[in-house]
Amino acid sequence: MKKMSLVILALGLCASIQAQTLLGAWESTGTDKEGQQIKNVVIFSEGHQVSTWFDVKTGAFMDTNGGEWFLNGSTITETVEFDTKSPERVGTQISFEIDLSENKLKTKDSNRIWTRIDNGTPGLLSGAWIMSGRKRNGELQSRDTSRPRKTMKILSGTRFQWIAYNTETKQFMGTGGGSYTTIDGKYTENIEFFSKDDSRVGASLEYNFELKDDDWHHSGLSSKGQPIYEVWSKRKSMK
């Protein structure tokens, strides 16, 4: 009877975790060895995730990693696509146990606790997107999204991050992110970290956006003030 009760309890805990959702954005703050306050923001979309650390005060980028993921019971399995701190992990699978409640997330091998920022709403662009085309000289040119060189954006309901990387060479080219809104056809990014140039932190950039045949058409001026027209397509999940 006792063994049966333990089995029922274990099944109940797994069902409880599965009933909750990781989808959305999570954050955790702490201090580094120099006493600087740092923030870690994790975005889970359907099948893809990204985790990034940056300085709370200055927005200075520290490191990022992410890739494909799925949840089985209380175990997350991730196939690493990029990792600035440990690029040798790219292409490998890692698994770890979690404790999940509605608004709190904890990995069982650490004391760090993440608090939910959002559950994938209210923004209209929640998901993982890969750049699949852009206009050059007025002509729309498509990109092969299966190639190892990728530019991806992962968005929750309020947070965004773009990442440029190569899964074959394990090279990381750059990233930036922060909060965003989608109101009346306008997509606005509020930059909180930018790996290539800290001076961009604090800037707000407004673009036009439209969903056409499930693709995200994105136009306006880049952070350098250059006209852009990009097309982003949803990434498929591994499960």
Report pLDDT digits (tens) over 63-85.
Answer: 999 999 999 999 999 999 999 99
Q: What is the DSSP string of 110-122?
A: S--EEEEEESS-S
Task: Identify which of 81, 107, 124 has the alpha carbon closest to the alpha carbon of residue 211.
Answer: 124
Q: Which residue has the tokens 């004391």?
A: 111
Enumerate domains of the chain plus CATH numbers: 23-118 (2.40.128.280), 127-234 (2.40.128.490)
CA distance linking residue 24 with residue 159, whole number of Å? 8
Please tell me which residue, 183 or 111, carries the higher pLDDT value. Answer: 183
Q: What is the pLDDT of residue 126?
A: 97
Q: What is the pLDDT of residue 16?
A: 39
CA distance linking residue 100 with residue 223, whole number of Å? 37
CA distance linking residue 98 with residue 95, whole number of Å? 10
| C-alpha separations of 235 from 32, 45, 47, 68, 193 in Å | 34, 10, 8, 10, 24
Percent of the chain exceeding pLDDT 90 equals 79
CA distance linking residue 45 with residue 110, whole number of Å? 23
Q: What is the pLDDT of residue 179?
A: 98
pLDDT tens sequence across 26-56? 999 998 888 889 999 999 999 999 999 999 9
Task: Identify which of 152, 157, 163, 120 has the alpha carbon closest to the alpha carbon of residue 22.
Answer: 120
Q: pTM, whole model, 2 decimals?
A: 0.89
**Does residue 11 register a pLDDT over 50?**
no
8-state DSSP, 197:
-
**Does residue 191 register a pLDDT over 90?**
yes
Q: What is the pLDDT of residue 239?
A: 53
CA distance linking residue 56 with residue 41, whole number of Å? 11
14: phi > 0 → left, psi -120 to 50 → alpha, else beta; which? alpha
CA distance linking residue 160 with residue 207, whole number of Å? 14
**Does residue 14 register a pLDDT over 90?**
no
Q: What is the pLDDT of residue 33?
A: 82
Q: Provide the CB-side half-sphere exposure for 130 (13 A, CA).
A: 18
**Does residue 177 register a pLDDT over 90?**
yes
CA distance linking residue 208 with residue 197, whole number of Å? 24
**Does residue 10 register a pLDDT over 50?**
no
Residues in the chain: 239
81 CB burial (10 A radius; 0-12, 13-18, 19+): buried
Mean pLDDT (whole number) for 12-20:
43
Q: What is the pLDDT of residue 32?
A: 83
Please tell me which residue, 9 or 96, carries the higher pLDDT value. Answer: 96
Task: Identify which of 67, 87, 66 has the alpha carbon closest to the alpha carbon of residue 170.
Answer: 87
Mean pLDDT (whole number) for 217-233:
92
132 contacts 236 by C-beta, under 8 angstroms: no
Confidence of residue 238 (pLDDT cuts 50, 70, 90): low
**Which amino acid makes up residue 148?**
P
Q: What is the mean pLDDT of the chain?
A: 90
Confidence of residue 137 (pLDDT cuts 50, 70, 90): confident
**Torsion sign (Cα): 193, 194, 199, 202:** negative
pLDDT tens sequence across 144-164? 999 999 999 999 999 999 999
